[in-house]
Structure 1
Amino acid sequence: MGVFDTIKDRRSIRTYKDERIPKDKLEKLLEAARLAPSAGNRQNWKFIVVENEQIKNKLVTASNNQAFVGTASHVIAGIGDSAQKWHQVDLSIALEHIVLEALELGLGTCWIGAFNEEEVKKILKIPQDKKVVALLTVGVSAESPAAKSRKALKEIVAYNEYT
């Protein structure tokens, strides 16, 4: 699959099969994140891979009771250093690398932005000076959602000045 097709075919998956992601695939996802660009090549991030069922269930509660968070094979927490100006951008790029590689490997993902950061920090023992940028569920998809409509390019693109 080409990059554009991977981007086009990506969906947010909220229904997962009760299957574990093999370790080699999980490591390939994390390698994709490791290779992501970052400001000044600082790579100032940490990825917490949650596979423990009890911890995932606690993350369900911390994620506004989104039950599907607990059904994914893994939840990956993207942790940044808030002292670094571009930590949110850098981490978002790295997490999106995981999303795209997951699709290449036949896996599904969903970005989780609705969560109680302090609760997630407590559950995952994250230091207070760090920032939980996003959570990402990863697993074997049990659904094939249709593509959602997108705005036309002319609605979102301007050339040379804001119009």
Structure 2
Amino acid sequence: MDVFEAIRQRRSIRSYEDREVEEEKLMQVLQAARGQQFVAEAPVVIVACAVEHEHVMPCGHPSHLIDVAIATDHITLAARALGLGTCWIGAFDRRMVRDVLGIPDSVEVVELMPLGYPTDWPAPRSRKGLDEAVCYDGWQD
């Protein structure tokens, strides 16, 4: 599956088969990142973290959260291309995750991402047409 097909087919998966993810596929998904109840069903949960560092983007914002967003986006696409499902989770008890995994306060827990074989693929959701979602030469209502 090419990346454009993975983008078209990517869905948030909230129900997983009771089936192990092969080590090779897990490593491929995690490699792509370089450069809730349904969470408990997933055989793997990726905890995406960031360490604030000195690098600041030209706009003045630190880059660590953007770096994590790019990495996890690559994970979702690699997972889909390998027949695995994911779901981006940004609302969770960060303190509990820190405590359970022993993550120090100097590391920011950004998101959770369950990973596994989906029990089914949700149908595509209805989306606005590009003529409703894209503006040229300024904001248009």
TM-score range, shorter chain: 0.7 to 0.9
Secondary structure in 2 matching 1:112: coil
* 1:67 and 2:37 matched: yes
Aligned partner of 2:126: which letter? S
1:29-48 → structure 2 map (5 Å cutoff):
29-35=29-35
**Cα deviation, residue 7, structure 1:** 0.5
1:86 aligned residue (51, 60, 63): 63
Structure 1 or 2: more strand by fraction: 1
Structure 2 CA distance for aligned equivalents of residues 136 and 128 of structure 1: 20
- 2:87–2:114 CA contact under 8 A, matched in 1: yes
Per-residue displacement from partner, 1:97-141 (whole Å, max 9, x unpaired)? Answer: 011001111111111112011111111111102111110000011
2:86 aligned residue (109, 113, 123): 109
Q: Which residue of 1 aligns with 2:59?
A: none
* 1:157 and 2:134 matched: yes
1:100 aligned residue (57, 77, 87): 77
Q: Which residue of 2 aligns with 1:52?
A: none
- 2:2–2:81 CA contact under 8 A, matched in 1: no
**Cα deviation, residue 83, structure 1:** 4.4
Structure 2 CA distance for aligned equivalents of residues 156 and 129 of structure 1: 39
**Cα deviation, residue 94, structure 1:** 0.3
Q: Which residue of 1 aligns with 2:19?
A: 19
* Percent of paired sites with the same residue: 44
> TM-score under structure 1 normalisation?
0.76
Per-residue displacement from partner, 1:61-93 (whole Å, max 9, x unpaired)? Answer: xxxxx2111110100011002345121111011
Gaps of at least 5 residues in structure 1 are: 36-65
**Cα deviation, residue 155, structure 1:** 2.5
Root mean square deviation, CA, Å: 1.3
> TM-score under structure 2 normalisation?
0.88
**Cα deviation, residue 21, structure 1:** 0.5
Structure 1 CA distance for aligned equivalents of residues 2 and 99 of structure 2: 40
**Cα deviation, residue 23, structure 1:** 0.6
